Amino acid sequence: MDNHIVEVINVTREVAWLPWAVQYFFLIGLSVGGLLLSLPGYAFAQEDWRALGRVALLVALTCGLAAPVALLSDLHQPGRFWHFYVVLRPTSWMWWGSIFIPLYVTGLLVYGWACFREELQAHGRVDSRLAALYRLASLGGGRNDALIRAAGLFALAGALLVALYTGAEVAVVKARPLWHTPFLPVQFLLTALAGAAGLVLVLNRVAAGNDRAVELRANRLLAGFLGGVMLVGGLWLALGLFGLDATHAEALGSVAGSEAWRVTAVWAVAATALPFAIAVAKPAGTGLLTGLIALHGAWMFRWTVFIGGQTVPKTGAGFYDYALPAGPEGLLGIVGTAGLWLFLLIVLIAILPSPRRPAPAPARAPQAPAGTVAAAE
Amino acid sequence: MDRSRRNFCLGAGAATIGAATVAAMPANAVVPGAASLRRNGDPAHRWAMVVDVGKCVGCQACTVACIMENDVPENSFRTIVSTYEVTEQGKAGSYMLPRLCNHCEDPPCIPVCPTGATFQRRDGIVVVDNTVCVGCAYCVQACPYDARFINHKTQTADKCTFCVHRVEAGLLPACVETCVGGARIFGDLNDPDSAVATLVREENPKVLKPEQGTQPRVFYLGLDPRFQGKVDGTPTLWRPSGETHARKEHA
């Protein structure tokens, strides 16, 4: 006989962590990933990693500066942010985050300055009205590998703490089975690395001279990260599907009944497997495509976890509806954050244009008239 | 458990920072941690509620009374009577389940709070200081009962307080006062002769989501296990509109 329950009246709880939070986790993840990718070339002075490291540093700096703005905007009372700093709340991962974020961003800025100091010094030597400013910014010095390494290791410590807290902050929420898995921090980190490699590929193509060596290396790195994403995702699914672990079975069970979630899962697999296959099969000439898909995948993962996760009722039947508002609580927040990131990128590449690569054949290289660099500045 | 309001000024360093901040800010600003003794509650009591599901008629008088008493904004609810149509063997019936904050003995909303705005009084009532809350909504995520929400008038976390202002005045919570069927029983668990203590002792009531380990202090008599956790059923037919709430106002 027919046995069923229809929910007639219940409360619909709206999404409380807004798309701002998605933007924050996306950007800070890219920043951490970018920093990690920049370390071999700068902090460990591996010259063949230097060009990739420079693009990765752009990723780390632009995303790292935009991310805290998105986080602040996700607070419903952003003017009270100082309340974090007048209490001791070690039981709250969010409180730890309020300590780690300034630590990381400060370390990142010092590291970025140390890395770019050589370029600042070079610009300071050019006959330009801004040369004095460049000399001032370089503090009268040039490349200092010991300083770069020290600052890089400090920033690395900050980045690892940020990666730890962003993962743990969400994973400890027992009330949401989808979030409450030990795999989540690992998935955040791996998708962040894939997204960062993706953004390196995109920036390399559109804003950093389209260096083929960078593209090849970044595509290979991307393939590795995406392989890791698929491996961890597969483990997560297997643990849930075969009931090997109660936490994962509960996480999977909370969304498995939804057609929309099944479509999302297929989409996520495609967005991971496709760039993986392209990057493995043809790492040259495909960077823009694989990079954009990887970026999309990293963002989508966070959107699904945060916005999708909050549409799973804790007590009620079925799922809550979510429609993206057009205003600051939705689309405007996403576009605004992206705009801020773009602005920071434009400022950074205007101040520090990509160094010119040596021409393959000097005899055929166009002769730049004297003062061109100065005029460009 | 964090029974003291918060551990503000645990160390001399924090005290120094706090003092510096107080000196630097306007006189009418609120300092997190500046608690009045009244807000701590009387540890002689442990307030709790027993809901006799069999007596609830689903009139939503409690829902309305709560809104009126606590000025709950439109489309937000501190308590509601979840109502279900249950069909068994071809016969349909109704099932009513009043929901509210469970004022847990081990509330997961408190440790996650980054500012100490949400805390448990010594009488067990879990409250939010909305002058301290930054509206981060971490507690909203951590509550396993969907009992918390962001109040768009105050832009801070909000929830049932057991009508603490009434309880301190010797009155019953508004939802209890108004319940026509006598389904909500409120009292002091520390008083062995109270109705709630007797019911908890003798009737073996259930709680929602016991596997979460939160030790709720809202107990249910006659709770059908199918409604103890997330309900496996067809989603609600009626939803509050999500578009009419007040626009977010940044402080």
Mean pLDDT of the region B234-248: 56
A91 vs B contacts (CB less than 8 Å) = 2, 111-112
Task: Provide the 8-state DSSP code for B95.
Answer: E
- A43, two tokens: 């902090």
Q: Can you give the length of chain A in residues?
A: 377
> 3-class DSSP state for residue A42?
coil
Residues of chain B with pLDDT > 70: what percent?
Answer: 79
How close A31 comes to chain B (CA, Å)?
Answer: 22
Q: Scanning the structure block, which residue is given the tokens 């990739």? A: A52
B80 vs A contacts (CB less than 8 Å) = 9-11
What CATH class does B44-225 carry?
alpha beta
User: Residue A373 carries which side chain, given as an amino acid letter?
Assistant: V
| Among the partner residues B84, B113, B235, nearest to A92 by beta-carbon distance | B113
Asked if A82's CB is within 8 angstroms of B235's CB, the reply is no
Rounded CA separation B182/B169 (Å): 21
Query: Are A32 and A163 spatial neighbours (Cβ–Cβ below 8 Å)?
Result: yes
Delimit the domains of chain B by residue range: 44-225
A88 vs B contacts (CB less than 8 Å) = 7-8, 10-11, 14
Angle of helix A212-241 versus helix A259-281 axis, rounded to 10:
140
Q: pLDDT tens across B153-178, in order?
A: 999 999 999 999 999 999 999 999 99
Q: What is the CATH number of domain A19-313+334-353?
A: 1.20.1630.10
A254 vs B contacts (CB less than 8 Å) = 230
- Find, among A10, A86, A22, the residue nearest to A338 by Cα: A22
Q: Scanning the structure block, which residue is given the tokens 């801004």? A: A130
> What pLDDT was estimated at residue A357?
63
| Among the partner residues B150, B236, B240, nearest to A317 by beta-carbon distance | B236
Query: Are B99 and A315 spatial neighbours (Cβ–Cβ below 8 Å)?
Result: yes
Element (H, E) at B175: helix B174-178
> What are the distances in angstroms from CA A347 to CA A61, A209, A323?
11, 17, 34
ipTM of the modeled complex: 0.90
Mean pLDDT computed over every residue of chain B: 85
Regarding predicted confidence, which is higher, B4 or A264? A264
pLDDT band (50, 70, 90) for residue B49: very high
Checking DSSP bridges between strand B91-99 and strand B118-120, what pairing results, if any?
A: unpaired
Rounded CA separation A244/A238 (Å): 8
Residue A259 sits at the chain B interface (C-beta within 8 Å): no
Residue A95 sits at the chain B interface (C-beta within 8 Å): yes
Which chain A residue shows the shortest CA-CA distance from B140?
A16
Query: Are A195 and A294 spatial neighbours (Cβ–Cβ below 8 Å)?
Result: yes
Query: Are B134 and A83 spatial neighbours (Cβ–Cβ below 8 Å)?
Result: yes
Rounded CA separation A92/B8 (Å): 14
Element (H, E) at B80: strand B80-88
* Non-local CB neighbours of A369 within 8 Å, separated by 6+ positions: none
> What pLDDT was estimated at residue A373?
41
**Could you tell me which residues are beta bridge partners of residue B151?**
B156
A251 HSE (CA, 13 A, CB side): 25
- A13, two tokens: 């709880």
Which chain A residue shows the shortest CA-CA distance from B243?
A325
B17 vs A contacts (CB less than 8 Å) = 85-86
Residue A13 sits at the chain B interface (C-beta within 8 Å): yes
| Among the partner residues B85, B99, B247, nearest to A315 by beta-carbon distance | B99
Asked if A174's CB is within 8 angstroms of B240's CB, the reply is no
| Whether residue B41 has pLDDT greater than 50 | yes
Residue A281 sits at the chain B interface (C-beta within 8 Å): no
- A59, two tokens: 């990723």
**φ/ψ (deg, to 5) at A15:** -65, 125
B112 vs A contacts (CB less than 8 Å) = 91-94, 172-173
Give one DSSP letter per residue of A299-323, joined into a string: HHHHHIIIIIHHTS-SSSSS-----
How close B40 comes to chain A (CA, Å)?
Answer: 18
Asked if B85's CB is within 8 angstroms of A6's CB, the reply is yes
> What pLDDT was estimated at residue B40?
87
One pLDDT digit (tens) per residue for chain A, 377 residues: 578 999 999 988 999 999 999 999 999 999 999 999 999 999 999 999 999 999 999 999 999 999 999 999 999 999 999 999 999 999 999 999 999 999 999 999 999 999 999 999 999 998 888 999 999 999 988 899 999 999 999 999 999 999 999 999 999 999 999 999 999 999 999 999 999 999 999 999 998 889 999 999 999 999 999 999 999 999 999 988 887 777 778 888 888 888 889 999 999 999 999 999 999 999 999 999 999 999 999 999 999 999 999 999 999 998 998 999 999 999 999 999 999 999 999 999 999 988 776 555 544 444 444 444 433 33
pLDDT band (50, 70, 90) for residue B28: very low
- A286, two tokens: 């495909």
Regarding predicted confidence, which is higher, B27 or A309? A309
Q: pLDDT tens across B200-223, in order?
A: 999 999 999 999 999 999 999 999
Rounded CA separation A263/A265 (Å): 5
Residues 133-172 of A with CB under 8 A from B: 169, 172
Which chain B residue shows the shortest CA-CA distance from A257?
B232
| Whether residue B26 has pLDDT greater than 70 | no
> What pLDDT was estimated at residue A257?
82
How close A51 comes to chain B (CA, Å)?
Answer: 39
* Non-local CB neighbours of A291 within 8 Å, separated by 6+ positions: A197, A198, A199, A200, A201, A202, A205, A218, A222
| Whether residue B25 has pLDDT greater than 80 | no
Query: Are A70 and A337 spatial neighbours (Cβ–Cβ below 8 Å)?
Result: yes
Delimit the domains of chain A by residue range: 19-313+334-353
Regarding predicted confidence, which is higher, A151 or B37? A151
How close B199 comes to chain A (CA, Å)?
Answer: 25
Asked if B141's CB is within 8 angstroms of A16's CB, the reply is yes
Q: Can you give the length of chain B in residues?
A: 251
Asked if B230's CB is within 8 angstroms of A82's CB, the reply is no
Task: Provide the 8-state DSSP code for B82.
Answer: E
B224 vs A contacts (CB less than 8 Å) = none
Q: Scanning the structure block, which residue is given the tokens 């979460």? A: B212
* Non-local CB neighbours of B202 within 8 Å, separated by 6+ positions: none
Rounded CA separation A204/A218 (Å): 9
Rounded CA separation A90/B114 (Å): 8
By CB neighbour count within 10 A (0-12 exposed, 13-18 middle, 19+ buried), where does A314 fall? buried
A99 vs B contacts (CB less than 8 Å) = none
Give one DSSP letter per residue of A226-271, joined into a string: HHHHHHHHHHHHHHHHTTS-HHHHHHHHTTTT-HHHHHHHHHHHHH
How close B174 comes to chain A (CA, Å)?
Answer: 19
> What pLDDT was estimated at residue B114?
98
| Whether residue B21 has pLDDT greater than 90 | no
Element (H, E) at A108: helix A93-124
